[in-house]
Structure 1
Amino acid sequence: MDELKVNKSFWDFYAEIYDEKKADFDKYLRGRSIKTLQTFFKPGQNLIEIGCGTGTESLEMIKYGCKLTLTDLSPQMLKKAYEKIGDKARYVNLPAEYIDSFKIQFDGAYSSFGVLNCVTDIGEFFKKLHTILKPNAYFIASIINRWYWGDFLFFALGITNYLKKRLKGWGYISVDGKEYNAKANFYSVFKIKKIASPYFELEKCIAFPILLPPPYLKPKDRLPEKIFKILDKIESALNGLFPFKYFGEQTIFIFRRK
């Protein structure tokens, strides 16, 4: 079975439990992601979302006033998104690998929470995305980072073993401790910048998160609210600065189409 079929099968399965499993993302990272999108995109713009999942961010961007085309490899994910959004968006069952199937150009694009880590050829993706965006359009993507400083700490403390996967550069996706055949690749900030550079200029990158533990460690449940707020405030000041911006669990990339 080829990689796209494997990925489709996994994400169709995951669609039924996605919102439950991503509840910890929604507690603090989802809001930061949406705030970033609404900083760079404007109401009225015609945007395309690549890997929309169940449509949580899509719904907020529609409320903000953008026109959305939602794409996803998984029909089940699109079904869940439609249940939230209804006829307020356009839905296209399309892998990111075939993003150049569109014959129009969009005002901007975004892809959140590691969708691009699962793309089979990320270099070809950037090349194809370039063709469907207007000149100077923004593309905003959050991508799982290969070099996350926290993995060294969590591995040493025996909390997680994600460090092994990141050092290897790829790993199979796990849900509740069980590995599935769907594969994720991990990229450094410098690697993504280099891959995208023929087609996109990197304007800014932001660690996502850098001081707060990643959502799979449930920091909102583990940390006292006062401590969480202090760390969140410090993180907001540091996450776009050198060298911190290169070592987050994920990275938000703000690209502008050449």
Structure 2
Amino acid sequence: MKKEFVKHRFFWDLYAPIYDENRKHEEYLRNTNLNILKTYFHPGQTLIEIGCGTGIEAEEMIKHGCKVILTDVSFEMLKVARTKVGSNAQLINLPAEYIDSFKTKFDGAYSSFGVLNCITDVSSFFQKLHSILKPGSLFVASFINRWYWGDFIFFPLGITNYLKKRLKGWGYITLDGKEYNVIARFYSLNDIKKFSKDYFTIKKIYALPFLLPPAYLKPQERLPKGFFKLLQKIENLINPYFPFNYLAERIIVIFQRS
């Protein structure tokens, strides 16, 4: 296994026991992501999840009526996921870069919350993913955007330091204020289009989020409840449209296999 895979496995193994508790502030984004997944995938389909983490999305997609194969680089993440999905799904310890190990063809695939940011050769990933999906099937992926408009407000105010990392194009992943020797890369929507163009067409693009502050600022806790709900309603109206879906903190892309 490549050295970078080992680093990622170590980090995500370390994070697994506390991941769900640490990510409670992402619930409003996960609900949006799940609504989109349930819109594009239908009961009876066999899906592969790439980078399943602790199985939050898989649990809901199984309830939705899909059969889900869970994959992740971290064995410890898969152990937590098993507690959610039980015997209702197959779990496989596999880095995203080896996704072409499967010999079957899936009805669709999804990858949520930044797995693409942990892949070095994204073009190669799309080529491998293409080989295991049925023609015309969908791949729904969310990733951390390189060009987020809010950074130009939050950084000068001293609220976050993400602007430096995004401008550089990469940064070390932080857990509880400590940086680990594990790199996340920041890709723009145009980068993702370039990486995928030979294998997939893009059907739809959503902001996740644009208007609401990023999850790491914990807007659900800091904003008045009524104001938060108002922003969420506006967000749901604008998130599929340009320029919001190009300049969001995260982006969800609906790909269709060529």
Q: What is the TM-score with the length of structure 1 in the denominator?
A: 0.98
The letter for the 2-side match of 1:168 is K
Superposed displacement of residue 239, structure 1: 1.2
Where does 1:35-184 land on structure 2 (aligned, <5 Å)? Answer: 35-184=35-184
Match of 1:88, SS?
coil
Q: Deviations over 1:168-216 (max 9, x none)?
A: 0000001121100111000111110111000000111111000101111
| Contact kept? 1:11, 1:74, Cα under 8 Å | yes
Match of 1:141, SS?
strand
Match of 1:212, SS?
coil
| Contact kept? 1:205, 1:251, Cα under 8 Å | yes
CA distance in 2, matches of 1:144, 1:18: 18
CA distance in 2, matches of 1:166, 1:176: 20
Structure 2, gaps ≥5 residues long? none
Q: Return structure 1 stretches of 4+ with deviation > 2 angstroms.
A: none
- State the partner residue of 2:191: 191
| Contact kept? 1:106, 1:134, Cα under 8 Å | yes
Q: Deviations over 1:90-139 (max 9, x none)?
A: 01100000000000000000000001100121111000000000000000
- State the partner residue of 1:223: 223
CA distance in 2, matches of 1:6, 1:90: 25
Q: What is the TM-score with the length of structure 2 in the denominator?
A: 0.98
Where does 1:6-45 land on structure 2 (aligned, <5 Å)? Answer: 6-26=7-27, 28-45=28-45
Backbone CA RMSD of aligned residues: 0.8
How many residues are treated as equivalent by the alignment? 257
CA distance in 2, matches of 1:216, 1:175: 12
Match of 1:159, SS?
coil
Superposed displacement of residue 47, structure 1: 0.2
CA distance in 1, matches of 2:138, 2:67: 15
Q: Deviations over 1:50-99 (max 9, x none)?
A: 00000011000000000010000000000000011110000110000000
CA distance in 1, matches of 2:242, 2:48: 30
| Contact kept? 1:109, 1:138, Cα under 8 Å | yes
